[in-house]
A and B are shown apart, each in its own frame.
Chain A
Amino acid sequence: MLEIFLGLYIFMLAAFVGYGVIKGVPALLHTPLMAFTNAISGISLVGSLVAAGAHYNDVSTVLGAIAVLCATINVVGGFWITDRMLRMFKKQDPKADAAGDAAS
């Protein structure tokens, strides 16, 4: 029972921190922001790694393996495309670099 309250506490803290940080991102960079947060939430990869690699039973392994596949597409693809987009904003002039770095 204590764990769930600790978890809720962490959840709320992270939500507040996330809110504070993301609020500062200009509308200009909202698309890269979405791609990036999506990549971060691909961290659910951690959960699917447990399911796929722990050899509990065949069903868990197969479901876990599909989950790893999906999550990897998100993490790897998400960071890749965020980088691709931010580089477009960076190229133009030195000031753009600052904006790009702030978001990444």
Chain B
Amino acid sequence: MVFAIWGTLIHPDIGAYYEKIAGQEGALAAFFQTYKWILLTFFIGSAIGIAISALIPMTRMPERIALSHAFGGLAAALVGVSEYYREYGHIDHTTMGALGFEVLFGGLTFTGSLMAFGKLSGLIPGRNITWPLQNQSNILMFGGTFVLLVLVTIDPSNQVLFYAMAAMPLLLGILFVAPIGGADMPVVITLLNSYAGLAASATGFALNNNVLIIAGAIDGASGFILSVVMSKAMNRSFRNVLFGAFGKVDEEDAALATSGGERVQEASVGDAAMLLSGAGSVIVCPGYGMAVAQAQHVVGELAEILEANGTEVRYAIHPVAGRMPGHMNVLLAEAKIPYTALMELEEINDDFKNTDVALVVGANDVVNPAAKHNPASSIYGMPVLNADLARSCIVLKRSMRPGFAGIENELFFAPNTVLTFGDAKDTLTKVVEALS
């Protein structure tokens, strides 16, 4: 009954269809017969959705989100194709335009998000894959797809054009995301979020369904806001982000790695523990390395010991730390760290100079002071955490490999910085043991 009402609400014909069938046979049997596909897929889908959501560790949240964008995009694209197939022959131009947008954004989101998922989970190398004339060919293909969209809107009866237009975005999604390196993922994920919303909204236009238009618009707006926040946090223009040029910084900057002659100061676990135990205030700067090492719980343990010792412990969260907006916040919340101790960049950046120890856990480019004073650096102008201004700075690092931008981090060579090499979780566990 509920389904009948619902059916009537979304599409008058279905309600009528149901009533007709129900009148002829047993209502329940008719119900299952009519909606067997919906019921079956609904239960399977719910089971998969709950299983993924309940079991996935918080460190893998970016993968989960990328995957759900892929599902959303696929659903929109399939509904679009199904709608075209069904209505073929009597589609007007406006509906065709909406269907076109739906299939375009849906397909783009689907393969783009799958690529993002592959890169985040390590199935595809996270490095930027590049080829000659990449941006030019991508933009050309994107333009070509739009031309197809216009042509198909003018002539909705041309099936070849439509299916070509439906296939192009699938390829485009792969080509657009392939060149983008891992650390640019926050921008990609938020952008795909926005596209998924636009696809849902276009579905609403094609089906004349206001709920869909609204839900899609809200999703699109949210994705848009977040991608603006992300691109601001990386000091890239929005245009730069949209045209996929942002993966290209690496090569240009490899030449800038100049600090070959300088030496870093290495600190043992004992030294680090001593520095921390003597500190009156500590600011932790987490980065993607913390998620990779799954070190958030041991960070929490360390904070507990330090706080019991009378040390003030706070956390400086850079907007693009991690692989998606809010990634670090969720991880630290999982480790039962009170959210009041999690500070945003603007809130805490002036406090570094009055802080005894900045503890950098798996972050790199977001604490590179070169962004503040070296115009030659590719990240020049990007807001960074002032970890270099703290009285001393402990950096937990696996090796001396530079960050995603391919540049050396000046922070590592600063006189008040010490580096402790090793897996962040192991190192911190040893520090906790030494302190307790």
Q: Which residues of A contact B (CB under 8 A)?
A: 1, 3-4, 7, 10-12, 14-19, 21-23, 26-35, 37-38, 40-57, 59-61, 63-78, 80-81, 84-85, 88-89, 91-93, 95-96, 99
Contact of A28 among B53, B217, B342 (CB under 8 A): B342
| 5 interchain residue pairs of minimum CB distance | A72-B45, A77-B49, A30-B326, A18-B221, A30-B325
Interface residues of B (CB under 8 A from A): 7, 10-11, 13-14, 17, 34-35, 37-38, 40-42, 44-46, 48-50, 52-54, 56, 58, 61, 64-65, 68-69, 71-72, 74-76, 78-79, 81-83, 85-86, 94, 98, 189-190, 193, 196-197, 199-201, 203-226, 229, 317, 319, 324-327, 329-330, 333-334, 336-340, 342, 344
13 A-B pairs with CB atoms under 8 Å apart are: A28-B339, A30-B226, A34-B189, A34-B324, A35-B65, A47-B204, A49-B10, A56-B86, A59-B85, A77-B48, A81-B53, A88-B333, A92-B339
Is the Cβ of B79 less than 8 Å from the Cβ of A48?
yes
Select one of B94, B214, B225 contacting A22, CB under 8 A. Answer: B225
Q: Given A11, A19, A29, which contacts B225 in the complex, CB threshold below 8 Å?
A: A19
The residue that A67 contacts in the complex, of B74, B197, B229, with Cβ under 8 A, is: B74
Min distance, Cβ A21 to any Cβ of chain B, angstroms: 8
Instruction: Count chain A CB atoms within 10 A of each CB in B11, B17, B98 and give the residue with the most.
Output: B11
Known contacts A11-B201, A69-B41, A78-B49: A42-B79 contact under CB 8 Å: no
Query: Which interface residue of B38, B82, B212 has the most chain A CB atoms within 10 A?
Result: B82
Q: How far is the CB of A63 from chain B (nearest CB, A)?
A: 4
Q: Which residues of A contact B189 (CB under 8 A)?
A: 34
Interface centre among B14, B98, B319 (most CB of A within 10 A): B14
Residue from B79, B193, B205 in contact with A44 in the complex, judged by beta carbons closer than 8 Å: B79
Contacts of B40 in A (CB 8 A): 65
Kindly list chain B residues whose C-beta atoms are within 8 Å of the C-beta of A30: 226, 229, 324-326, 329
Residues of A within 8 A of B334 (CB): 88
Give chain B residues whose Cβ lies under 8 Å from the Cβ of A54. Answer: 11, 13-14, 17
Task: Assess whether A76 is in contact with B49, with CB atoms less than 8 Å apart.
Answer: yes
Indicate if the CB atoms of B212 and A44 lie closer than 8 Å. yes
Q: Is the CB of B79 within 8 A of A18?
A: no
A69 and B44 contacting across the interface, CB-CB below 8 Å: yes
Q: When chains A and B are docked, how far (Å) is the Cα of A14 from the Cα of B209?
A: 13
Given the complex of chains A and B, what is the CA–CA distance between A59 and B319 in angstroms?
45
The reply to whether A53 and B34 form a contact with Cβ atoms under 8 Å apart is: yes
**Structural contact, B82 and A51, CB atoms closer than 8 A:** yes
In the complex, the answer to whether B203 meets A53 with C-beta atoms within 8 Å is no
Instruction: Chain A residues near B71: list those with CB within 8 A.
Output: 42, 70-71, 73-74
- The reply to whether B215 and A41 form a contact with Cβ atoms under 8 Å apart is yes
Contacts of B333 in A (CB 8 A): 85, 88-89, 92
Given the complex, which residues of B lie within 8 Å of A60, measured CB to CB?
82-83, 85-86
Taken together as a complex, chains A and B put the C-alpha atoms of A60 and B215 apart, in Å, by 23
User: Chain B residues with Cβ under 8 A from A42's Cβ?
Assistant: 71-72, 75
Q: How far is the CA of A95 from the CA of B341 in the complex (A)?
A: 13
- In the assembled complex, the Cα of A84 lies from the Cα of B191 at a distance in Å of 24
Residues of A within 8 A of B205 (CB): 4, 7, 11
- In the bound assembly, the distance between CA atoms of A15 and B340 in angstroms comes to 31
Question: Looking at the complex, which one of A1, A11, A49 makes contact with B213 (CB distance below 8 Å)?
Answer: A11
Name the residue among A11, A70, A76 with the largest chain B CB count within 10 angstroms: A70
**Smallest CB–CB gap between A1 and chain B, Å?**
7
Cβ of A53 to closest chain B Cβ, rounded Å: 5
**Distance, CA A67 to CA B56, complexed state (A):** 23
